[in-house]
Chains A and B, each alone.
Chain A
Amino acid sequence: MSVILVLDDSATMVMSLSHILKGAGYEVETGMNGREGINKLGEGIKPSVILTDLNMPELDGIGFIKEARKIAATRFTPIIVLTTESGGRKRDEARAAGASGWLTKPAEPSQLLSVVKQLCPAK
């Protein structure tokens, strides 16, 4: 089963995203900030897609993307930023750090699944 790593400092968002992705047939790993995300990758989790918020404590989304791109296993893993930020500057910053795509909240479950399925069909 394909694994999706979800990073968000909002417990409700993490639960909501997990519910939608699990319902579509994905296995979900979660973290409450970028540091937890890096720790998960260090534990050997190999996500097919990573969904991350930008504004998180300890290590934010941009910091996480930069660190994840230094790890061989996730150098080319699609990383989708899911955030309330829709500004061009932040978007450019995320893209420069290595983000593959962008979804602005509020998004609909169908939008989320459409992006994830394009990158990784559920097995």
Chain B
Amino acid sequence: MKKLIKIHSYLMAGLVFFAFSCNQGGGSGSSNGALSSNIAEKVYVAPGERDEQYGFLSGGYSGNLTVYGLPSGRLFKEIPVFSQFPTSGYGYSEETKPMLNTSFGFIPWDDLHHPDISQTNGELDGRWIFANGNNTPRIARISLTTFETEEIIEVPNSAGNHSSSFITENTEYVVAGTRFAVPVPQRDMPIKEYKSNFKGALTFIAVEPEHGHMDIKFQLLMPGFNYDLSHPGRGKSHGWFFFSTYNTEEANTLLEVNASQNDKDFIAAVNWKKIEEYVNNGGGTKMPANYAHNVYDESTHTATSTMKKEVLTVNPSEIPGAIYFLPTPKSPHGCDVDPSGQYIIGAGKLSADITVHSFDKMLAAIEAENFDGDAYGIPIIKYEDVVAGTVQSGGLGPLHTEFDGRGNAYTTFFISSEVVKWKLETWEVVDRQPTFYSVGHLMIPGGNSRKPHGKYLVAMNKITKDRYLPTGPEMEHSAQIYDISGEKMQLLYDFPTHGEPHYAAGCNAELLVNNSKKIYRIDENMHPYAIKSPAEAKVERDGNEVHIYMSTIRSHFTPDNIEGIKVGDKVYFHITNHEQDFDVPHGFSMIGQGTSEILVMPGQTKTSLWEPKKVGVWPFYCTDFCSALHQEMQGYVRVSPANSTIPLSWSLDDE
């Protein structure tokens, strides 16, 4: 009995202790951070539940765009944009090869940087997302109904297409600025003669409102600085575009030092409405050019590439009063505009402070001609007449700023590895949270619009180190998600990201879920090699080209036995997926084929090229586990010697 009481009292003591420690853990300001259960609940999306928001993260050197759910950080899809993608056959299938055509020929890769969702009246409209290829300058438009790349336009006279692909508030333009100044037009000349000879092209690409088709409206040939990032004016500053610059020294070597000499570089303010009017009235100079315009047609499931031969250029000196320089300390990187359009934030990446310019002050200074000389004829507004305030951050290496729509701004600091929250207009720092590690961009869904959804903030880091289980020297980059709905930011979750995200765009789920396509209708398939039913399957020979009109439906190919193919033939498998059910793709691959598989969505037609080199009977199969009889979804092609007389024949079940 005594023993029992003793045990009982131990038990009681234990319970009391437990209750006490729980209390500690649940208290505010606890150091338990993400371990405490209320934080876990904020990112926990139960099985079968769906996320609140979409996040579209750039893939950087993967060349692609990734789609994540927020707040869970779950990866939903990788959308191939500038890189060949064997998973779906993008850039490998005959239909999509033209998407990667450029004036340099077929380029299988790029460095995808800054996604931006289309807008109407300064708010996200969820029709398309644009992204830039940094290396071989290109802009892509991705459909947000199919989540596929629909269009890519090459940008001539540009190099290092970095201050891109930001859109104006009614998606009038998607803007692409060059990072590297280059000779325009390109020519053989000494590198040392860079200064005053090289140009920095800022390209305004008009977006056709109904289908989103892109067409270069004009190129502004600016002085040979490096145009780093840009953002559109909005609200009151709609009609203007702002570009940060570095290397106003115009150094051509050891930029690390030589481009860091000027105390201030510039933010270029461009009145594009004025230039638009000028070119609409016949202004500008047509310059010979050569650049690719690639368009994917959803009804034919096929892309075409056209080379364009001319571009309209505008020299700043032709339109006085359209362009001004705003002096901004220390090689500004990020160039962000607040939701009202009043403040232009220049984050001098070599400084501790953030410089904020005022749009109203800028207009007043222009009116009063408060200039501090000019650069290549472009007026430089006096610093003190345009600056609205400076954020004394206490951090190091500010890069990018986003907004929550409640008067707060959030800036990433690469060197001090943190996100700093500060107040617009008072410029006071109100909170700071560490990131892990060395944060580049950050994204608040809708943060680059008049109406941010200020609930979550995603910080995209450049360095991962010890955040996850190690995977050898190469690791995925790390992102953090913060809850910013309160006064203080709260770190919620860590998740790895694919490639290297340079910026991201996000929106509420409702904007996209109901428009997301489930299937392509077979009766709307206009592909020239499509067949409307398996009964139309056939094989045709045209010289050494063989076209196989093939059908897939669970769980067979029609036809699945083909004879009469010869070594040296070019065999095109045109595969139509006759399923009309959501999420039932079929794949196709052929042994020894020098290309990737293709993944064909319901109602779609895709073409895979095979050039048989060996005599024999060669199997092909469905690569997507489509059904219980997926393993049986296979067939044979008989390949005979080049001089064979075996006639072409095909069958399914000997019929």
A binds B: no
| A residues lining the B interface (CB < 8 Å) | none
